[in-house]
Chain A
Amino acid sequence: VKLTRAAWLFVLMGVVASASVLAALSFGSVPTRLPNVFAAIFFSSPDTAAEIVRELRGPRALAAFACGGLLALAGTLLQVLLRNALADPYVLGVSGGASLGALLALAAGASALSMNACALAGALAAIVIVFGLTYRSGDWNVYRLLLTGVVLSAGFSALISLTLVLAPDAQVKGMLFWLMGDLSQTESGASAGVVLCGLLVLGIATAAQLDLLALGELKARSLGVPVGLLQLMTFAAAAVATVAAVVTAGAIGFIGLIAPHAIRLAGVVHHRALLPLAVLLGASLLTIADTIARTIWSPQQLPVGIFTALIGVPAMLLLLGRQR
């Protein structure tokens, strides 16, 4: 029963993921019919519509897909590591650090490239602080990790508000976009895609150990899991995934929290299936949300974070309501 349910969900998520990518490639200010989308991808036809698909929509769809997957992956890993259902990719303070870095760069009128560099620096600083305060000679305290992340995020959030208040008016809108998540400035999602593939393989390779870690550290150790190493790797993988997503697309909320829960509510609890399914769900969700965000008010583009929540909240409430 367990296997067939997971297999069924894989088929479903495969269809949803493909549909979301095709929708992202077809919809836009120049609507493209499906045959032309395929022609643009596979036969590199030379007309303008094909170029839009290849040069504009393709990279952006890849970026959305990869970032959604990364956030779902990070959320799943942190929920196991912290044994806390409310954990999401941002409990480590990564989004706060990255946002502060990006906003300071924006306020200073920096280029997109140096803004990304500042976001990266802020995210890494947050991780180094959280890690340094919670990891002592091979020993973790997951509660301390969680609390340190939450406290640090609160501090960053105050500094972000301060930056917003003091920033020149012309910059504030760009800052708000960044804070709500925005894929319109993304050049390419290729690097995020590579990071996602690597981390997903690592996650599946340690899936059986993650199942045991969810039972508790001592229990996992008694069953032969190298707990310290596993926790360190899980922390690192979640941090890298979050940083890659945040630097590519800003602080997109909600996906990392709900994608793993939605899959668990559908009855898949083993990480070997849970991780890839959550990744597919998060990726599809962000791809669909980004397609809506750039078409619904066209030519005006809206921050994608609004739509991840607008789609995700009712879907999640529906799932929770069906749960006994």
Chain B
Amino acid sequence: MLSCESVTLSVAGRVLCRDFSVRFGPAEVWAILGRNGTGKTTLIHALGGLSKPEAGRIALGECAVETLHARERARAIGVVMQMEEGAFWGTVEEYVLLGRFPHASPWSGYTARDVTRARTALEAVSLAALARRRFATLSGGERQRARIAQVLAQSPRIFLLDEPLQHLDVAHQAQVLALLALRARTNGETVVMVMHEPFWIGHSCTHAVVFAGDGTAAAGRADEILTRERLEHAYGCGLKQVLHGQGRSFVPDI
């Protein structure tokens, strides 16, 4: 259970969201929605203990995230960043193996079991065939799948994913969403992801946070929070609701 208690988020002195409270429970899949620059990434970083919120408390169970030991936190919370600033010179499999760092002993390094975990994760995102390729030679979408494989190998209880669908073609978007939803359902893990694709919203999410862009955010069950009016207000553009077998989706009405 990851919770925000009266959290205020700000970037460079600009307040994005004031007095925001929410609890991300086990087996829940959350979509974080909102216009560009409304605080979605800042929320992901704060939830992952990578930056401190301006005010309020972020707690994993009963412990504030900043009091956790770094490795302990990384075993519980996995983060997929929107951008990775550094370079990686090794192979795809070696890249995914880095996700096992919080589980590996500082002295003996990665074990055969860690390598197996990395391979399983690569298979889950259909990248096993590219395991020996240099990471730098992958396409944008393949890199994104390798990042997702890395966080799968990390096997945290809580997944924080900042735009997990970026660069993915529509088939792999569906694959990744199904994969995450399945893990939440069967393992009771929590998935929190920033999304920009309104046509996927109704498919896999049980809950949602919608940043209104005026310093407030609504959070709760998807069927209550995801109304056409709220999303149109949040995005500032017209939307059409589409009903289908698995639920609702939204498409731009332009």
Contact = CB atoms under 8 A, between A and B. Distances in A.
Interface in A204-248: 205, 208-209, 211-219, 221-226
Nearest to A142: B85
A216 B70 contact: no
B109 A272 contact: yes
B185 interface: no
Contacts of B99: 223
B90 A226 contact: no
Interface of A: 1-2, 83, 205, 208-209, 211-219, 221-226, 264, 269-270, 272
Interface residues of B, number: 33
Contacts of B79: 222
Contacts of B90: 2, 269-270
B112 to A, nearest CB: 12
21 contacts: A83-B85, A208-B106, A208-B109, A214-B86, A214-B88, A214-B89, A215-B86, A219-B81, A221-B50, A221-B70, A222-B48, A222-B50, A222-B77, A222-B79, A223-B74, A223-B99, A224-B71, A225-B70, A226-B70, A269-B90, A270-B94
Contacts of B50: 218, 221-222
A222 B106 contact: no
Interface of B: 45, 48-50, 70-75, 77-79, 81, 84-91, 94, 98-99, 101-102, 104, 106-107, 109, 132, 154
**Most chain A CB within a 10 A radius of its CB, from B70, B102, B104, B132:** B70
A223 B101 contact: yes
Contacts of B85: 83, 216-219
A322 to B, nearest CB: 15
Contacts of A222: 48, 50, 74, 77-79, 81
Contacts of B98: 211-212, 215, 223
Contacts of A215: 84, 86-88, 98
Given A208-B109, A224-B74, A224-B75, A264 B89 contact: yes
Give the one of A221, A223, A225 with max B CB within 10 A. Answer: A223
B161 to A, nearest CB: 11
Given A83-B87, A225-B70, 9 more contacts: A208-B104, A208-B106, A215-B98, A221-B70, A222-B48, A223-B101, A224-B70, A224-B101, A225-B101
Contacts of B106: 205, 208
Contact of A212 (B49, B91, B101): B101
